Structure 1
Amino acid sequence: MMMYQNFNKSLENRFIKYAKIDTQSNPESPTCPSTEKQTGLGLELTKELLAFGIADASMDGNGYVYATIPSTTNKAVPVICFCSHMDTSPDCSGENVKPIIHSNYQGEDLILPDDELVVIKRSEHIDLQYQIGNDIITASGTTLLGADNKAGVAEIMEAASFLMKNKDIKHGTIKILFTPDEEIGRGVDKADLKKLGADFAYTVDGETLGSIEDETFSADGATLTINGVSSHPGFAKGKMENAIKILAEVLDSLPKDKLTPETTSGKEGFIHPVGIKGQAEQAEAQFIIRDFTDAKLVEHESLLRQTVDAVIKKYPNSSYHLEVKAQYRNMKQVLDRYPKIVEYGVQAIERAGVKAKRQSIRGGTDGSRLSYMGLPCPNIFAGEHAFHSKQEWVSIQDMEKAVQTIINIACIWEENS
C-alpha cells in the first residue's frame, strides 16, 4: 500500500489557508451557524471536496458540510465517519490570523512578532520537548491560531485527497462531517445523522501526538437565580435584602481548596461559576458542573443547593431558584459497548509509527454528543496545543502522523471485515 507523504507542503499550505479564514463562533447568537462567517470555510471545503472528485459534497443551510468517499472494496465494511469542527473559540480573537512557520525547532522559547510579550515557553509547554527538529506553526501574537480544530479539518481533507487519488487502497465507505459551533456547545445540534449514514465515527480534535480519548467529563449547566428585596437605598434599613450580595455570599461559601478548576486535575470534578449578572432585586449566576460519573454530578449539584440553602436562611424575605440542565455525558459509557472502535484507533496510531496513548478528556467533544445520539465516536489527536489562546501551536510533523492515522483507521476496518 502506498504510504501518505506530505508532497509539496500541501498539508501546511492547506492548514494555513483555513487558519486565515475567521470562523469564530458566538454564544450570544441564536442562529445556526452562530456566525455567518463560518460558512466561508464551509463553502471552501465543499469546493475542494468536489474538486477531489467527491460528487456528493455539500453544505446544508445550517452550515454543516457532508461528503462521502466511496468504498474501494467488495467487503461489507461498517461505514466510518471522520469529523472536525470549523469554528474557533470566542475566548480569543480569530480575525486576521497570521500563521508563522518556525522551521527546524531547536528548543528555544518562541517570541511572537506582533506582541513580544506573548512567548511560547518550552518550560510551560511540555510537549515542545518532543518537537526538536520539527516545524512549528504559531499565530503572530495578537490572535489564536485556530489549530483547534482547523488542524483536524486540514488532516481529514488531506486524507480525503490522498484516498481519492489512490483508489487501489482498500477501504469501506467513508463519511466526512465538518460542524459549526462546537466551541459554544452546539456542534452537533443540527447534524443530520440519517443523512450522514455512518455506523461509527472518530472526531479529529485531540492534543498530544498519539492520543486517543475514549472518556470525557459528564457535564451539566446550572442557573442560580436569587430573588432579593429591593428598596430605596436611602430608606432601606431593615428592608433591603440585596440579591447581588446574597449571590456573592453563596459564591464565597463554595469550596475554595477543592471542586474548582484551579484546584483539580485528573479525574476530579468541579463546580465552576462562569457568569454573573443582576441588580439588587434579582441576581443570577451561571455554573458549569463537571465530573466523570453521573453520580458525582448529582453530588456536586446537591452541594451547590445545600450551600444556597444555608445562605438564604439568613434572608427571610428572599428566595432562590436553581435550574440544572444536562449538557453531555461521558462517552465511555457508550464506547465500552463497542471496543473495536478504540482498538482499531490504537492500531492505526501505532501503524503510523507512534505510541498510542489512551486518555481521558477534562472536557467534551462533538464525539460526546454524537455517541449519545447513536454514533459511537472517540477522539483522536490532531496535534493542537494551547488552544483558545494566543500561544496556540501545532507541529507539521504531528499533523502528518494524524493524516496517516486517519488513512490507517479506514484500512484497518476493511482488513477486519
Structure 2
Amino acid sequence: MIDKQHIINRFVSYITIDTESDPKSDTTPSTKKQWDLANKLAEELKAIGMQDVTIDENAYIMATLPSNVDHEVPTIGFISHFDTSPDFTGANVKPQIVENYNGKDIVLNAEEDIVLSPDYFEDLLLYKGQTLITTDGTTLLGADDKAGITEIVSAMEYLINHPEIQHGPIRVGFTPDEEIGRGAHKFDVEKFGADWAYTMDGSQIGELEYENFNAAGAVVKVKGKIVHPGYAKGKMVNSMYIATEFINSLPRLETPEHTEGYEGFFHLYSIQGEVEETILEYIIRDHDKQHFEARKEVMVKLTNDINEQYEREVITIDIKDQYFNMKEKVEPVMHIVDIAEEAMKQLGIKPLIKAIRGGTDGSQLSYMGLPCPNIFAGGHNFHGRYEYVPVESMIKATEVICKIAELTALKAKS
C-alpha cells in the first residue's frame, strides 16, 4: 500500500517551492527559482536509490530504475514538469488539507470570501469522503504538475522498496517551462532512451489521453495615425477601431467559453491598444488538422480583406505553429495506450479516454520520436485559486505507474 501521509508530505514539500515560469524570458529554465525544486528533485531521486541521475545546464532531470528481470523488456518512461503557470501566482503557497470532505462548500479564505463550491465546481462531489488539498485562495496550488512529480517519485520509491514487483528498465524525466510551451524544446530524447513514455499531467482520476489540440499562436498588429483630435477629421486613423473590426469578424461562438470536446476555437487573450498601434494576441486550436489549417487561413484572409478595404496595409499578422495532435504518432503504437488502460482496470479505475483540450510535453515529444500518451495526475481547476487535488487520486496514479511497469514486463515475457 502507498502511504497516504508520505504522499501528502512529499507533495507539500514541492508545492511550497515557487517555480512559476516566465514567457517573456529567453533563458532555460525561464526563471532562476525553478532551479530550487530541480536541484531538490535530483537529490531526492538519488536518495531513494535511482541510478544515472542527471541534471543538465537547462534543469532537465533524468534518472533510471534498472530492470529487475532477466528477460528483455522495452524501456518505458514517465515524465512531468516542475514549473507552474504564470497565469496566477505560485509564491507562498499555503495548502489546506480537508479530511473526509463532506460535499459542501470549502471556505478557502474567509477574509476575502473565497469559496470552493460544488455548486460551481461539480467535480468536487466525485470526492466525498476523501482527503482534498486546496489553496488558501490567494495562490494556485501547483498540482499541475507537482502532483505528477509526486506520483512518479513515489512510484519509483515503491518499486525500489518492493523488488518482488517485476519490471523492466524505467526512465523518469522532469522538465522546466512546460506551462509556457517549452517543456520539450530541449528534452534530449536520444539520451532519455525510452521506447515510449507517459506524461503524468492529466486531471480527473481515470483520464487517459492520446489526442490533443493542434496549436498555433497569432500576433496581429494594427497600424493607425495619431492626430490632434480637434483637427482629426479625415486624418486620424484609430487602430483600436480597426482592431475591433478584426475581432468582431471572427466567429463569435468559436471561442473557449462556447466550445467543448473536439470543437476548436480562436482565443483572444491579450489586447494592447492606443490610437497609433493595437496589438492582438491569439491562440488557435483544433484537433482536426484540416480544420486547424483552415482557421489559420481565415485569419490571414481577414487580414487581407481589411487591408483591401483601407487600400493599404493597416494590419499585419504573424502565425507560428506551437505543437500538433499526438494522435498521429501514437495510433501506430496503440499497445502503449492499451497497457495503461489495462493497468487502470486492474486497479478498479474506470478509464476515461478522451481528447485533451490543450497540450502536454507529450504532444511535442511524440513528434520528436518518443510516443507519449497522458495519464491523470488527479488535480482540478488548474492555473488558479480554486485548484485542488484529492490525495486518493495521487495514490491511485502512483499505483497506475507501478502497474504499467509490471504489465510491460509481463507482456514482454509472454
- Which residue of structure 1 lines up, in the alignment, with residue 407 of structure 2? 412
Q: 2:365 aligns with which of 362, 370, 377?
A: 370
Distance across 2 between alignment mates of 1:330 and 1:82: 20
Residue type at the aligned position of 1:286: E
Q: Within the alignment, does 1:205 sit opposite 2:218 as a pair? A: no
- The answer to whether the Cα contact below 8 Å between 2:2 and 2:158 also exists between their aligned partners in 1 is no
- Which residue of structure 1 lines up, in the alignment, with residue 105 of structure 2? 109
- Which residue of structure 1 lines up, in the alignment, with residue 280 of structure 2? 285
| Residues 14-93 of structure 1 aligned to structure 2 (within 5 Å) | 14-93=10-89
- Equivalenced residue count is 412
TM-score with structure 2 setting the length? 0.96
- The answer to whether the Cα contact below 8 Å between 2:303 and 2:316 also exists between their aligned partners in 1 is no
Q: CA deviation at 1:125?
A: 2.0
Q: Within the alignment, does 1:143 sit opposite 2:101 as a pair? A: no
Q: Deviations over 1:138-166 (max 9, x none)?
A: 01111111111111010001001111122
Q: Secondary structure at the match of 2:309?
A: coil
- Which residue of structure 2 lines up, in the alignment, with residue 325 of structure 1? 320
Distance across 1 between alignment mates of 2:266 and 2:3: 48
- The answer to whether the Cα contact below 8 Å between 2:98 and 2:133 also exists between their aligned partners in 1 is yes
Distance across 1 between alignment mates of 2:304 and 2:50: 59
Q: Which moved more, 1:169-178 or 1:279-288?
A: 279-288
Residue type at the aligned position of 1:126: E
| Residues 150-161 of structure 1 aligned to structure 2 (within 5 Å) | 150-161=146-157
Q: CA deviation at 1:334?
A: 0.9
- The answer to whether the Cα contact below 8 Å between 1:86 and 1:149 also exists between their aligned partners in 2 is yes
- The answer to whether the Cα contact below 8 Å between 1:246 and 1:312 also exists between their aligned partners in 2 is no
Distance across 1 between alignment mates of 2:4 and 2:198: 27
Q: Deviations over 1:198-226 (max 9, x none)?
A: 11010001111111011101111112222
Distance across 2 between alignment mates of 1:156 and 1:296: 36
Q: CA deviation at 1:299?
A: 1.6
Q: Which moved more, 1:266-275 or 1:376-385?
A: 266-275
- Which residue of structure 1 lines up, in the alignment, with residue 307 of structure 2? 312
- The answer to whether the Cα contact below 8 Å between 2:219 and 2:282 also exists between their aligned partners in 1 is yes
Distance across 2 between alignment mates of 1:146 and 1:344: 28
Residue type at the aligned position of 2:296: E
Q: Secondary structure at the match of 2:94?
A: coil
Residue type at the aligned position of 1:299: A
Q: 1:354 aligns with which of 326, 345, 349?
A: 349
Distance across 1 between alignment mates of 2:302 and 2:172: 46
Q: 1:303 aligns with which of 298, 307, 313?
A: 298
Q: Which moved more, 1:129-138 or 1:231-240?
A: 231-240
Q: Within the alignment, does 1:345 sit opposite 2:340 as a pair? A: yes
Distance across 2 between alignment mates of 1:190 and 1:126: 38
Distance across 1 between alignment mates of 2:116 and 2:250: 34
Q: Which moved more, 1:242-251 or 1:191-200?
A: 242-251
Q: 1:9 aligns with which of 2, 5, 9?
A: 5
Distance across 2 between alignment mates of 1:71 and 1:114: 51
Q: CA deviation at 1:168?
A: 2.6
- Which residue of structure 2 lines up, in the alignment, with residue 225 of structure 1? 221
Distance across 2 between alignment mates of 1:226 and 1:213: 39
Q: Within the alignment, does 1:166 sit opposite 2:166 as a pair? A: no
Q: Which moved more, 1:54-63 or 1:339-348?
A: 54-63
Q: CA deviation at 1:290?
A: 0.4
Q: Deviations over 1:185-208 (max 9, x none)?
A: 111111111211111010001111
TM-score with structure 1 setting the length? 0.95
CA RMSD of aligned residues (A): 1.5
Residue type at the aligned position of 2:334: P
Q: CA deviation at 1:309?
A: 3.3
Q: CA deviation at 1:233?
A: 4.1
Gaps of 5+ in 1: none
Q: 1:177 aligns with which of 156, 173, 176?
A: 173
Residue type at the aligned position of 2:200: V
Q: 1:391 aligns with which of 386, 392, 411?
A: 386
Distance across 2 between alignment mates of 1:115 and 1:318: 52
Residue type at the aligned position of 1:411: E
Q: Which moved more, 1:290-299 or 1:118-127?
A: 118-127
Q: Which moved more, 1:51-60 or 1:288-297?
A: 51-60
Q: CA deviation at 1:60?
A: 1.1
Distance across 1 between alignment mates of 2:111 and 2:30: 30
| Residues 257-276 of structure 1 aligned to structure 2 (within 5 Å) | 258-276=253-271
Distance across 2 between alignment mates of 1:344 and 1:289: 32
Q: CA deviation at 1:234?
A: 4.4
Q: Secondary structure at the match of 2:310?
A: coil
Q: CA deviation at 1:278?
A: 4.6
- The answer to whether the Cα contact below 8 Å between 2:109 and 2:115 also exists between their aligned partners in 1 is no
